Amino acid sequence: MLTRSEMSRYIDSTLLRPDATAEEIRRLCEEAARYRFFAVCVNPGRLELAARCLEAEEVKLCTVVGFPLGANATVIKVKEAETAMEAGATELDAVMNIGLFKDGNYRAVEEEVQGLARLVHDRGGILKIIIETGYLNPEEIRLATRLVAAGGADFVKTCTGFGPRGVAGDDIIYIRSSAPPSLKIKASGGIESYQQALGLIELGADRIGTSHARSIISELMEI
């Protein structure tokens, strides 16, 4: 059992819907500050607004890169990451090139992660790589995890929320079995309840990405 304040520090409160309004972004940031969520995650075009809303807060600012397909050219992803950090993001969730991975072009996948990690780390940020587990079998999840680790990312993240399914407990088990201790796990995709979030944490998730952060926290009474 985690207290409300303990659970809050696991949560990246997320709003990545393409139709999200400015008012919804402001409300997301206000809730994150009130509940002391670890971060908010918004689309790149909303970074400047979110940065203004969180200017005096401890909440981290996160955005996505190559989202949601991961199919952009590496040079585009790197430029997108650079622009996002200039706009105030300190954590980037970048989608792995799933097509290259399925081709067996593992060197290209690893080199892309390396390029992103170099840029993000040079600017003092955190890089999470989304491997979109819904497209991968268990051995592919393990292999993708090893490539993400070799590329120097800080986290492997399960899902975009726009793929064929959300996170499953087995995803965390497969990732944890292949991840070095230095590589953290962000579970995301369809996490809607406290019990679901807690179960993923107990399996080894270090961060929870969810668009249901307030409802998850509302299930808990502060202890």
List alpha helices for the chain, DSSP H.
4-8, 22-35, 47-53, 74-86, 98-103, 106-122, 138-151, 169-178, 194-203, 213-218
SS3 label, residue 127: strand
Catalytic one among 60, 77, 157, 184? 157
Give residue 71's identity as a one-letter amino acid code. Answer: A
Residue 128 is a catalytic residue: no
Residue 93 is a catalytic residue: yes
Residue 157 is a catalytic residue: yes
Rounded distance between C-alpha atoms, residue 155 and residue 175, angstroms = 11
Catalytic one among 60, 77, 184, 186? 186
Catalytic one among 60, 77, 93, 171? 93
Residues 6 or more apart whose Cβ sits within 8 Å of residue 169: 199, 200, 203
How far is C-alpha 154 from the chain's CA centre? 11
What residues are annotated to the active site? 93, 157, 186
